[in-house]
Amino acid sequence: MKLQDKVAVVTGAASGMGKQIAILYAGEGAKVVVSDVNLDGANETAEEIKAAGGTAFAIKTNVALEEDIQHLIDTAVGSYGTVDILVNNAGIMDGMEPAGDIEDAKWERIFAINTTSVMRSTRKVLPIFLEKQKGVIINIASAGGLYGARAGGAYTASKHAVVGFTKNTGFMYAGKGIRCNAIAPGGVETNIGSSMTNINGFGASRQQLGMAINPRNGKPEEIAKIALFLASEDSSFVNGTVITADAGWSAY
């Protein structure tokens, strides 16, 4: 049991990578707060965990709203007494729009969900972590946060910001017993594509050029195993960095 009695908050845990992270953490002994804007899906994840003998509850959270993040962490502390692990997984895609076609409203929504939420939730848990001089933050970035052509301009910029924020946070609090790392998945079989609307033909055609060298898509369970490594003491010397998980796509 690598996470025995730890309290983990996982956003975007109704499906995909977040769901598998929540399930794996619970299987390793963590008490899991299953957070998602899709409460029905979050409840399904929590029920699956409890059916397997784990401990979890679901909570509806729109990570784009400051008050929802406040409520999420306050509820976690009220229910389980503390927070030990924060996984910022919730995120949405853009529509492959290049710079000339980005609309302000879409840019702002993508940043609110993908980037600002990461800052706000981190800011909210830091007093808890600082008091006990211990805590782990795991941000789900993307290959789009490392390279320029895995998505449109807004998504790419939002995930680059997550990478930078991860490195800064990891360094700033390294002497306080707090670790902050990110995972940058390549193509993973999740339903994030459902957040894509009005696909930009030009942007998609440019993005598609690199797909031929993608060895394969990953499974959410594969990303969850990396998230377990980063949450556990197995990664005690890993901080302020990004683990790329893309089957070698970016090695070309």
Phi then psi dihedrals of residue 209, to 5 deg: -60, -35
Q: Is 155 a catalytic residue?
A: yes
Of 140, 155, 250, 249, which Cα lies nearest the Cα of 199? Answer: 155
> Among 80, 147, 155, 173, which one carries the catalytic annotation?
155
Contact criterion met (CB below 8 Å) for 25 and 3: yes
Place of tokens 């939420």: 117
Q: How far, in Å, CA of 87 to CA of 133, rounded?
A: 18
| Cross-strand bridge partners of residue 60 | 36
Burial 101-130 (b: 16+ CB within 10 A, else e): bbeeebbebbbbbbbbbbebbbebbbebbe
218's enclosing H/E stretch is none
Active site residues: 155
